[in-house]
Amino acid sequence: MKKKRIEGREQIIEIVDRFYARVREDDLIGPIFNDVAQVNWETHTQKIYDFWEMLLFGSEDYKGRPFPPHIPLGLKPEHFQRWLQLFFSTVDDSFEGQKADEIKMRALNIGRNFLNNLQARGLS
């Protein structure tokens, strides 16, 4: 299959939808999203589409702070590692190019920042 480039919201939606399909079925982090957080998937994915579109293309649709909702979830380093594995493989399966590299680097930085913030609070 020929890999595509991330050019806008359409590709972000594809990545986010595929990624969360994997997350929901994952033995390690699926229960966090499905049971602990009790995610409203329609609301959550819309917010995540906006978040990534803001980071990659400068959209101003995202409103919020991504870290606070993660505080009560009991996240550990292995959860972030799995999140990144799934995210990277989702991107790499279908996409290449500068924006594909950028979204993975931003995901890596977000994961590190979240983990550091949780550890600083003694929560991880």
Tell me the two tokens of residue 42.
Answer: 């329609």
Is the confidence at residue 118, as pLDDT, over 90? no
> What does the pLDDT look like over 84-111, one tens digit per residue?
999 999 999 999 999 999 999 999 999 8
Nearest partner of 49 among 40, 61, 39, judged by Cα? 61
**Cross-strand bridge partners of residue 54:** none
pTM of the model: 0.91
* Predicted local distance difference test score (pLDDT) of residue 123: 65
* Higher pLDDT among residues 106 and 121, named by residue: 106
Nearest partner of 118 among 110, 63, 64, judged by Cα? 110
> What does the pLDDT look like over 31-70, one tens digit per residue?
998 887 677 888 889 999 999 999 999 999 888 888 888 8
Nearest partner of 96 among 12, 14, 7, 5, judged by Cα? 5
* Predicted local distance difference test score (pLDDT) of residue 124: 65
Tell me the two tokens of residue 92.
Answer: 């790499």
The structural domains of the chain, ordered by start, are: 9-120 (1.10.490.10)
